[in-house]
């Protein structure tokens, strides 16, 4: 599944303006059980790296919200990249970061 997702981004050839609302998956680093802003930023940076796309220099501070109190699995983070678009990042029970990308427009 991950290879299919990675292939989908590769098709975009790092042209952020032709890709919109795509879902990507990145394996969780070191089996982290807690999910927060630093994990969301890691996942987005790793997405750029895995797809051999230039990593933007500027990322806005991730904004995260836990929708169900005391349940880390309901946390979702918003990561804005001014020159590219924005990402919603969540972590599932299968140790995978799920990333949804939308371009600015």
What are the boundaries of each domain within the chain?
Answer: 2-103
Helix (H) / strand (E) containing 28: none
> In a structure prediction context, what are the per-residue pLDDT tens digits for the chain, which is 105 residues long?
343 334 344 434 566 555 566 778 888 877 667 788 999 999 999 988 888 888 888 888 999 999 999 887 889 999 999 878 899 999 988 889 999 988 877
Helix, strand and coil in the chain, % to nearest 5: 30, 30, 40
How much is the pTM? 0.77
Phi, psi (degrees; rounded to nearest 5) at 96: -135, 135
Query: Based on C-alpha coordinates, what's the Rg of the chain?
Result: 13
What's the pLDDT at 13?
54
* Structure-token match 């990675």, residue found: 6
Q: Computed from CA positions of residues 11, 12, 18, 23, in that sequence, does the dihedral angle turn out positive or negative?
A: positive
């Amino acid at each position: 599944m991950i290879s299919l997702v990675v292939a989908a981004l590769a098709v975009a050839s790092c042209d952020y303006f032709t890709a919109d609302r795509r879902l990507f998956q990145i394996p969780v680093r070191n089996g982290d059980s807690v999910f927060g802003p630093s994990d969301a930023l890691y996942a987005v940076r790793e997405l750029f790296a895995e797809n051999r796309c230039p990593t933007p220099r500027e990322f806005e501070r991730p904004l995260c919200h836990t929708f169900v109190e005391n349940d880390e699995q309901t946390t979702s983070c918003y990561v804005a990249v001014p020159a590219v678009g924005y990402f919603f990042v969540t972590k599932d029970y299968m140790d995978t970061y799920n990333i949804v990308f939308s371009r600015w427009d």
